[in-house]
Structure 1
C-alpha cells in the first residue's frame, strides 16, 4: 500500500492548527486577521468606527502595495531585498528635487517612475542574465541605494515635498456622510489590487507562477524565463515607488523612511501562504498578510508593547512559515507517495551446473 500516512488524534489536530496559524496560508491569514481585529475592537471599541478603520487602511496601504510587488518576485522563485532602500531613496530624492515647489511635482513623479523601473530592470537582468542569485543582487542594490543617499544627504534629508505631492498619501474625498474622508490611498490600493489580480489571471501571470514552480519545465514549454522574472522585478520596483509616494505623503521625509520595509513585505507575503521558492500562493492572500502584519503591530501598540519587538515577531513569522511550507511540500507532492517504477526485465543468468561462481 502506498501513500502518506494520515495523522489522527487530537494532538495531531492541535499541532496542525498551530502550524497553519504560525506558518500562514491562503485561508488562515484571513482568519488570523479577523481574530486580531476582534482583539483590537475589544481593547478599544472606538477603533471599529469607520473613520478609525479608514485611517488604519491609509497607514497600511504602502505596505500592502509593497507586498503585492514582493509577491510578483517571490512567486517567480526570486527575492527582492532592495524595496525598502528604494522607497527611502525615492522619498529623499523627491524632497530634494521638489523643495516645496508645486510646479516640480509632476516632473519629479515621472522621474521617480523612471528611476524605479531602472532599478527593477537592473535587478532583473543581473539576476537572470548574469545568473547572480537574487538575494545577492538585491542585497547589493539595497546597500548601494542606502549608501548613496546617505552620502548625498549627509544623513539628514534636505528639501520639502509639495502639498500636491502629499495629496495621494494624506488626502481624500472629504465631507462624506458617516465616514468623513475616503482616502485616496484606499482607492489607489484597490486599483493596484485589481490590476495585480488581473495580471496574475493573464497568460503572463500563469507563466510567472509556472516559472517559480519549475523554471526548467517552463523554459521547455516555450516561456522566456529571463524576461518573465525581469518583468517581475520591474513590477516590484514600480510598486515600491508607488508605496514611496504614499509614505512620503502620509509621513513626510525622515532619515529612517523605508528602513526595514523589505523585511515587513517579505513577512506579509509568507504570512499570506506564498512559498519562498515560488510556484504557490495568491496575491490577495499576500496583501491580506500585509494587513495582518499592520493589525498585529497596532495590537502591540494597544498593549503598550515596545516597538523593538516588531523585528523579532517578523523573524519568527518568516521562520515558522518557511519551516511549515518545507514540511508540507513533500506531503503534497504526488511523487513522494509513488513507489519507484520497476526497470525493464532482464534475463536471469543461470549459474553453471556443478556450483556457483
Structure 2
C-alpha cells in the first residue's frame, strides 16, 4: 500500500479519541489539585509507563483475536529473572542475555497458542495455567531469591533521554506501537488477523488459517510482554519475584480503556497507549490527593466503566 494511502486511512478511531479525552481530563484534574503539571513530569510518567504500554500492546493483540492472555504478567516477570541472571551484572553478556530472554518469552507464547488451538483449552484457562507454571518454575530456579543484576550500561534504555526531550523507553514504546499499527492494519498477515478476530468462520471460508493466526498472536503477545519485562528490569536494575504480577490486570484495563473489544476485531495502539498512561497518572493523582492505594482500584474500575459506557452509547446511536 502506498504511503499517501496509509496516511489517509490512519485516522484515530472514536475509541482512541475517547481514551485521549479521558487522559486530558485526568491531566487537567491533576493540574488543578497539584498546581502544576510540567512536561518533565508527563515524560517521566510515560517513561515508567512504557513497560505496561508494551505489555498492554500484546494484550490488545490477543483481544484482537477475541481471546484473553492471563500470562503476560508472568511472562514479563520471567523476562526480569532470566535477564538479570543472564547478565550477571556484566555488560559483555548483553547479546546472550537478550537472546535467552527473548527465547523463553517466545516459548511461552508458542505454548499458549498450542494449548488454545491444538488442545482447544479456553484461552483464559490455558494462559492462567501457563502463568502458574511460570511462577512455580521461577521459584524452583531461584529458590525464592533471584540472583544477578542489570549492568548500569544497559539501564540507559530507561534512564536515558533522547536530546533531553524524550526518554529512550518512550521512543522504544512509540516505535513498537507504530510497527504494530502498520503491520496489523496495512500488511496482508495483519489483515488476516483482523478478519480472523472479527469472524473466524468467515476467515476460514476465505481460505485463511485462523488457527495459525491465533498461535501467531500469542507468540507476538508474549514477545511484547518480554520486551516489557526487559524495560522493567532496566528500571529496577535487579530481579524480583512477582515484579510484574499486577501488569496482567493492568494490561487488560489499559487495552479496554483504549478501545479494545472482548469480541475481537479491533486493534488501536494509540488508544492502548492512552489507557496505559491513564493508569499511571492515576497513581500521581492518588498521591496528590493523599488517598490510599486501594482507591486506585476504585478509580481504575470507574474509568473502565466510563470507557465501555461511552463505547456502548456510541454504538446504540
Give the shorter-chain TM-score range.
Answer: 0.7 to 0.9
**1: CA distance, partners of 2:117 / 2:306:** 29
RMSD of aligned C-alpha atoms? 2.2
**Is the CA contact (8 Å cut-off) linking 1:83 and 1:237 kept in structure 2?**
yes
Residue 138 (structure 2) aligned to one of 145, 149, 165 = 149
Q: Which has the higher Rg, Structure 1 or Structure 2?
A: 1
Distance 1:316 1:154, change over 3 A: farther
Q: Does 1:277 align with 2:267?
A: no
Q: Following superposition of structure 1 onto structure 2, how do residues 20-169 of structure 1 map, counting pairs within 5 Å?
A: 25-48=15-38, 50-169=39-158
Q: Which residue of 2 aligns with 1:290?
A: 276
Match 1:197 to one of 173, 178, 181: 181
Structure 2 gap ranges (5+): 1-13
Counterparts in 2 of 1:281 and 1:37: CA distance versus 1, 3 Å:
same
TM-score by length of 1: 0.78
Residue 237 of structure 2 is aligned to residue 248 of structure 1: no
SS at match of 2:166: strand
Query: In structure 2, what is the equivalent of residue 10 of structure 1?
Result: none
Give, in whole Å, the separation in 1 of the partners of 2:27 and 2:308.
25
User: Quick check: 1:102–1:162 contact (8 Å CA) kept in 2?
Assistant: yes
1:308 aligns with 2:294: yes
Residue 200 of structure 1 and its aligned partner are, at CA, apart by 1.5
* Matches of 1:267 and 1:251, distance apart in 2: 23
CA deviations on 1:145-193 (whole Å, 9 max, x unpaired) are 11211222232222211123322122233xx4xxx35321111111111
Match of 2:194 in 1: 209
- For 1:310 and 1:205, the matched residues in 2 are separated by 35
How far is the alpha carbon of 1:312 from its aligned partner? 4.2
Taking the aligned partners of 1:68 and 1:125, their CA distance within structure 2 comes to 21
* Contact 2:255-2:275 within 8 A present in 1 as well: yes
Q: In structure 2, do the counterparts of structure 1 residues 52 and 324 end up closer, same or farther at CA, with 3 Å as the change threshold? A: closer
Q: Contact 1:272–1:281 at 8 Å: present in 2 too?
A: no
The structure with more helix, counted as a fraction of residues: 2
- Report the Cα offset of residue 327 of structure 1: 8.2
Q: What CA distance in whole angstroms lies between the structure 2 residues aligned with 1:95 and 1:203?
A: 37
Unaligned runs of 5+ in 1: 1-23, 333-357
Whole-Å Cα distance in 1 between the matches of residues 301 and 28 of structure 2?
Answer: 24
Q: The residue matched to 2:154 in structure 1 has which SS?
A: helix
TM-score by length of 2: 0.88
- Higher mean C-alpha displacement, 161-170 vs 30-39: 161-170
